[in-house]
């Protein structure tokens, strides 16, 4: 029996039928899942940049893409304006907020809400 990895296309294992079991396969899948999840987390974190102003948001989106974390007091009308001008929308409000406050990139009013903006591809 041949088992191939999704993580490394060159990783090919020949396994005896006696080795195959539900527990062995479950462990292999769990390990693969953990590695894929960690690789995705590292990639995501490496592609989050911060912006302190609307101009910085636009510059980061134009130069790097990815996610832009910034303070933003949610308002559908303001978000629509940002989307029309930058093609970016709020992708999520992270559960892990910094606990800090900062000026909303649009209004300048102090807020504790940080969001992630990104463009759809």
pLDDT at 7 over 80: no
CB distance 106 to 52 below 8 Å = no
Give the pLDDT score at 21. 86
Confidence of residue 15 (pLDDT cuts 50, 70, 90): confident
Confidence of residue 16 (pLDDT cuts 50, 70, 90): confident
Give the pLDDT score at 18. 83
Domain ranges of the chain: 2-45, 48-119
For residue 3, what is the enclosing H or E element?
strand 2-4
Class assignment of domain 48-119?
alpha beta
pLDDT at 2 over 90: no
CB distance 117 to 88 below 8 Å = yes
Give the pLDDT score at 43. 93
Confidence of residue 11 (pLDDT cuts 50, 70, 90): confident
């Amino acid at each position: 029996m041949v088992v191939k990895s999704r993580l490394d296309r060159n990783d090919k294992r020949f396994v005896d039928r006696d080795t195959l079991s539900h527990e062995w396969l479950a462990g292999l899948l769990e390990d693969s899942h953990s590695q894929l999840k960690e690789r995705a987390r590292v990639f995501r974190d490496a592609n989050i940049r911060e912006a302190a102003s609307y101009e910085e948001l636009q510059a980061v989106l134009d130069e790097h893409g990815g996610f832009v974390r910034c303070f933003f007091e949610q308002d559908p009308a303001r978000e629509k304006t940002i989307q029309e001008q930058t093609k970016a929308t709020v992708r999520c409000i992270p559960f892990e907020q910094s606990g800090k406050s900062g000026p909303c990139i649009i209004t300048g009013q102090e807020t504790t809400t940080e969001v992630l903006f990104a463009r759809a591809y």
